[in-house]
Amino acid sequence: MSNYRAEYEKWLQSDALSEAEKAELRSIAGDEKEIETRFFAPLEFGTAGLRGTMCVGLHNMNIHVIRWATQGFATVIAAEGEEAKRRGVAICMDCRNNGMEFAKAAAEVMCANGIHVRIFESLRPTPELSFAVRHYGCQAGINVTASHNPKEYNGYKVYWEDGAQLPPQHADTIASELQKIDIFDGIKRMDYDEALKAGMITVMGEETDEAFLAEVMAMVNDREAVEKVADKFAMVYTPFHGTGHKLVPEALKRLGIKNVICEPKQMVIDGDFSTVVSPNPENPEGFYLAVELAKEHNIDFILGTDPDADRVGIMVRNREGEFVPFSGNQTGVLLLDYVIGAMKRAGTLPSNAVALKTIVSSEMARKVAESNGVKSFDTFTGFKFMAEKKNLLEASGEGKVIFSYEESYGYMLGDFVRDKDAVTASMLLAEMAAWYAGKDMTLFDAMEDLYQRYGWYGEKTHNLVMPGLDGLADMAKLMKNLRENPPADIAGVKVSFFKDYKDGSALNCATGEKTTMELSGSNVLRFELEDGTTILVRPSGTEPKIKVYILTLGKDAADRDENIRKYSEWVGTLRK
């Protein structure tokens, strides 16, 4: 831990701070806890880059931290040589407050380090940045976004030349570079307008959108199914005030969906997310305006994308006429089953097709894939790992990845992005809904049909939120306890295997035999129970919480729901 007081004084004295920033720091002079929270350590540079609340401080998101992080990243790019500097970096931002300011600050540092910059003229979806890195042959990418976090947050995500977020080894290199760089004196900067004049910056706009949309539309499987119901099929869409506002409706229009009603209040770009408590499609409360619209127009299908349009969530009308949220697992399984079927019907399913999911996503996805002759592999949580696995499988000729998903509402399709992509997923979800509508089925009916065919799978994720400095210690303590004293049974059901992804060890609890798993190197614990249920525990990589995943399979819906209830009760005891 650093001497946070000395760091606070250093910032107060620095010429790099504006008068307003110094005034903000003076206003907390008497609040020791607040000073410690802002200055106890730098924001940690992880595999997702940086994420934090926006205020003045070393442990926060502000222009100084952005410049410092960019200087570290620039050093890593420059180490790749002159060609890498010429290929340069693509920069993007979402709708968050200070987004453009932070993006331009990053551009100034890159240019001063001799690295060419391609920057979007205004906010764009995250998958379009991944696409731009690949499309223009850039060495790297930067995205100023905090995805679906509350409005107080912003973030800084970094990408490498394949269009995926940085693999851990590159993130570690940047983190160690940052330790050598003084946050004020170690930064190179070139004025943005001068860099533009000098040809160091290229601004990206509509031409990039069109190139991206061409790839999105090439993913359509069944235009006829959409045409067949185009006059009567309708849907509601909300971008939650974010970057999906332009390209998602455009992709739906090009697909041939005539009746898309966009929620007008949430089509307004707004970094304060004024109509929702949380701009996260995982939280069904945010859909209240869309639900009102859907009921008013007698529509069965609602789709929403998060502020940076990498996640997508759907709400579907049930048999009682009420709207129910589909989990990321349900949506993923439905879409996987549909894509395999649609590709088979179109004759486009590769003979060596593969579906990827993460270790914490539903086992139902594996069942759907394998029942249809498609191989299934697990990766760690995060699309950089799925991108890595996709690249590996395809380079070796072992498999062609047709679908990748994780339970937190992320889906990746096609070869043109290496991150979750709500633009393409939204288009395919709409195609799927139209296809089922042609069979007089809603997506609620379709999901019920899948349970009948593949089994009554159920999942629930619990978030044990542990904020602040004490929270970090509590999280570490909980993981340590579970690792050192794993429970022999959970909710009265014996644990048959205890697996630790940190060292890749798998313990057979009955025999005491230890084996090694294919995956290792991540702080995740896995308990496999005698009844076929799996429970996983991992600290979040982006938020102060521990996530506990229950993955179960029941004899029927009631049995599945009972499993979820009793295991959720056990999760509640972990805090005590």
Question: Which residues are tagged catalytic?
Answer: 147
Instruction: Using alpha carbons, select from 62, 23, 318 the residue that is nearest to residue 184.
Output: 62
Instruction: Using alpha carbons, select from 228, 220, 225 the residue that is nearest to residue 251.
Output: 220
- What region does 192 belong to: left with phi over 0, alpha with psi -120 to 50, or beta? alpha
Lookup: tokens for 6: 């000395």
Name the 3-class secondary structure at 269. Answer: coil
Lookup: tokens for 463: 């978030």
Type and span of the H or E element at 457? strand 456-465
Q: Are 422 and 311 in contact (CB under 8 A)?
A: yes
* Geometric angle at alpha carbon 473, from 460 and 150, rounded to 5°: 55
Q: Are 127 and 211 in contact (CB under 8 A)?
A: no
The rounded distance, in Å, linking the Cα atoms of 318 and 17 is 55
Strands (E) in 323-399, as ranges, are: 323-325, 353-358, 375-379
Which residue type, as a one-letter code, is found at position 194? E
Beta pairing, strands 489-490 & 493-500: antiparallel
Residue 307, CB-side half-sphere exposure with 13 Å CA sphere: 31
Q: Are 399 and 359 in contact (CB under 8 A)?
A: no
The rounded distance, in Å, linking the Cα atoms of 218 and 410 is 20
The rounded distance, in Å, linking the Cα atoms of 475 and 489 is 22
The rounded distance, in Å, linking the Cα atoms of 187 and 201 is 19
Quickly count: other Cβ atoms within 10 Å of residue 453's Cβ: 11
